[in-house]
Amino acid sequence: MNPLASVKGNEMRRIKDASKLSKKAALLLLAVSLCAGASLSGSAAAHSAKGKRQDSATGGRNKVSSDLRDKVRDSKDDRRRQSAGGTTSVIVQVSGQPSGQLKAFLNRQGVHVNAQFKNLNAFAAELPVSAIEELASFAEVSYVSADREMVSLGGNLSTLTGAEAVRQQTTAAGTSYTLDGTGVGIAVLDSGIYNAHKSFAGHYGGGKDYTGEARTDDPHGHGTHVASIAAGGSDAVKGKYVGIAPNATIYNLRVLNSFGVGRVSSVLAALDDLLLYHANYNIRVVNMSLGMPAIDSYKDDPVCQAVRRLVDAGVVVVAAAGNNGKDERGQKVYGLVHSPGNEPSAVTVGASNDAGTIDRADDVVASYSSRGPTRSFWTDEAGMKHYDHLIKPELVAPGNKIVAAEAVNNYLVRLNPSLDAGVSKFDNQKMMRLSGTSMATPVVAGAAALLLQANPRLTPNMVKAILMYTAQQLAGSNTLEQGAGEINVEGAVRLAKLIRTDMSASPALGAPLLNAGAPDPHTTIKYLTSSGSAAATSFTWSQGIILNRTYATGLQLITVYQGIYGLGVIYGDGVIYGDGVIYGDSTIMSDGVIYGDQILTSYGITIAEGSPFLSAGVLYGDGVIYGDGVIYGDGTLSSDSAFIPDWLTRGDYASQLSVLINGERP
């Protein structure tokens, strides 16, 4: 069965019979193989004790997520009180073939396997809470986590971002073409798409439902809005609200239900299909304007692991940072980036506020946009939490009061009629106004599609680096808020076109990367004011990239090939790049690249210029310096203890850390 059930006939015919048979077999396995044990062959394996696994680099790691461990503890209390502990839904990641013992466990009464994600080495199951520890004790089980809920993270955008400035392109041979995402597929994991809307006329590729509601339209309204920001065409409202890549083909993977809520298992099923079929449709970009609390380290989180597999396969995955940048009192909050936005291989996007103008000089990071560092963690045998502490997001993009396509009779507008933008009386041309990192994320997804149309040889890591290097640093915002800065489509396209297309699959470190000289690191966007007069806004590129817990600058980031640009290499993965290559090793980064040792508050010029906000060494402290707290406000710390190490109160940090607020980690 085709994963995109309503794909046009000519596109369906491109799938070979062998692929169809293979998918049918996979779907049968999805339903019965784990339950019946039919395909779970393999020799018996010894259990490891108490749900722990050994990690040669870090010592013992607990194989059960912290929220499930809480359920197990509560279940034991329930049994002591002679009441039932209940059942729960879990995601199980496995390494290697399941043993006969594990197969017998899965066929036990009360244990039900609901779905198998064959390409992800994972499955979803329901079982008694009291059986979780036993499940985790099997050696081939690498991690057990809850099947958590996923939720939506809810001006002329094309002109504001610089996309309109690069629409008309000319090849080296002198042929003109329109840069609009033609030929590039964008998969949108969301609440569905109202494909009768004129924004999708001629470039809707089809869809599949993963929620169990047996529909691919959008009764919620979030997915239609998101999809049209990435690739809304010009047929609606005379093209006034065109998307970033208006002719990219949109594929609709519906993982959120009529109320905008889904489950991890639904998202995994969609990503599993994408791994199998992305090449058939040239799906080069995935948009994930959704998320859940980032509890498990990205090394254990099943959605993060699935995202990484897609990126390794050559697909750019763009994820929302989340909308938890401030608390109920309106104060800044740090450390609440959502999953899968905490995954290093994803391009994680925060939201900027353009103040309703095209002039970018007044742009700021939106107050609600989630800030880093990532606070997902793993737990060792002693119960100590080890935090990931990665700098996220990598970019911000316009996300405030964005006008885009409105699904007919959708839940969001019924709940709040003022969301309708009032630009059309026709259902298939209506527009609505939403704010959030959900809206910023498809801006970046659409930009990625433009880069890949301009230069199809770009790897996901190259796309990510280009977007960061050409971004605009927003004055007054630190690296944990804006990453490399606000997206600049004009500069990114200009740089992408200079990247060589004749390089081998594995270029040597330091090989020339450009087919011409380095571009001028400045962008000017011309536009018309409301009175019709000509105006322009100019800014300098950030000229740097975010690297896990620091940043790197240097012209060689774009003039010579760096090892971090290859497939299968994660340049935000802790202190190790790729397969055991240590950060800073000359085999992964060339000489001439400079690493920063501060988290900076930008002056609005380049990524390396600004005032110190926090030492990068704090992020390498692995939770020892932070304890179980997070950063609040501009350096204000919330911790479980009223203690600030004395070195943090010296020099430039004294004014940044003058206030201490006691409290628990949000």
Cis check: omega of the bond before 344, within 30 degrees of 0: no
Question: Is 154's pLDDT higher than 90?
Answer: no
Name the pTM for this structure.
Answer: 0.83
The β-bridge partners of 145 are 91
Task: Tell me the pLDDT band of 1, cut-offs 50, 70 and 90.
Answer: very low
Q: Is the pLDDT of residue 408 over 70?
A: yes
Predicted confidence at residue 586, as pLDDT, reads 52
Tell me the residue length of the chain.
666
Distance between CA atoms of residues 284 and 362, nearest Å: 33
User: When comparing pLDDT for 451 and 80, which is higher?
Assistant: 451
Q: Which of 420-434, 556-570, 616-630 is most confident?
A: 420-434
Q: Does residue 215 have a pLDDT over 70?
A: yes
pLDDT of 405 reads 97
Contact 178, 121 (CB under 8 A): no
pLDDT at residue 82 is higher than 70: no
DSSP-assigned beta bridge partners for residue 631: 637
Of the listed ranges 168-177, 293-302, 518-527, the least confidently predicted one is 168-177
pLDDT above 70 (res 255): yes
Task: Choose the weakest-confidence range: 88-102, 150-164, 491-505.
Answer: 150-164
Q: Is 84 exposed, middle or buried (0-12, 13-18, 19+ CB in 10 A)?
A: exposed
Model pLDDT for residues 489-513, shown as the tens digit of each residue: 999 999 999 999 999 888 999 999 9
What pLDDT, on the 0 to 100 scale, is given for residue 78? 63
The encoded tokens of residue 194 equal: 């109202």
- Cα separation, 108 vs 123, in Å, equals 16
Question: For all residues of the chain together, what is the average pLDDT?
Answer: 82
pLDDT score recorded for residue 265 = 96
Q: Which amino acid is at 352?
A: S
CA distance 417 to 221: 12
- Average pLDDT in the 208-215 region? 97
Residue 415 reports pLDDT greater than 80: yes
Average the pLDDT over 306-311 and give the result: 96
Please say whether the dihedral angle defined by the alpha carbons of residues 653, 654, 658 and 663, taken in this order, is positive or negative. positive
pLDDT at position 654, please?
Answer: 29
**Interatomic CA distance for residues 293 and 523, integer angstroms:** 36
Residue 615 banded pLDDT, cuts 50, 70, 90? confident
pLDDT tens for each residue of 629-640: 444 434 443 332
More confident residue, 162 or 307: 307
pLDDT at position 621, please? Answer: 66
Reply yes or no: is the peptide bond before residue 246 cis, omega within 30 of 0: no
Model pLDDT for residues 529-547, shown as the tens digit of each residue: 777 788 899 999 999 999 8
Q: Name residues whose C-beta falls within 8 Å of residue 652's C-beta, 6 or more positions apart in sequence.
A: 611, 612
Residue 257 pLDDT grade (very low, low, confident, very high; cuts 50, 70, 90): very high
Q: How many CA atoms lie within 13 A of 163 on its CB side?
A: 31
Residue 486 CA: distances (Å) to CA of 225, 342, 361, 364, 508: 21, 19, 11, 9, 31
34, pLDDT greater than 70: no
pLDDT at 623: 45
* pLDDT of 40 above 50: no
- Average of pLDDT values for 421-448? 96
User: With b meaning 16 or more CB within 10 Å and e meaning fewer, what string describes 525-559?
Assistant: bebeeeeeeeeebebbbbbbbbbbbbbbbbebbbb
- The enclosing H or E element of 602 equals strand 598-602
Domains of the chain: 40-147 (3.30.70.80), 151-499 (3.40.50.200), 609-662 (no CATH)
Within 13 Å, how many C-alpha atoms sit on residue 535's CB side? 15
Q: Edge-to-edge strands of the sheet including 630-632?
A: 630-632, 636-639, 660-662
Q: Which of 38-52, 138-152, 153-167, 482-496 has the highest mean pLDDT?
A: 482-496
pLDDT tens-digit map of 314-355: 999 999 999 999 888 888 889 999 999 999 999 999 999 998
Question: Do 374 and 335 touch, CB atoms closer than 8 A?
Answer: yes
pLDDT band at 616 (very low <50, low <70, confident <90, very high): confident
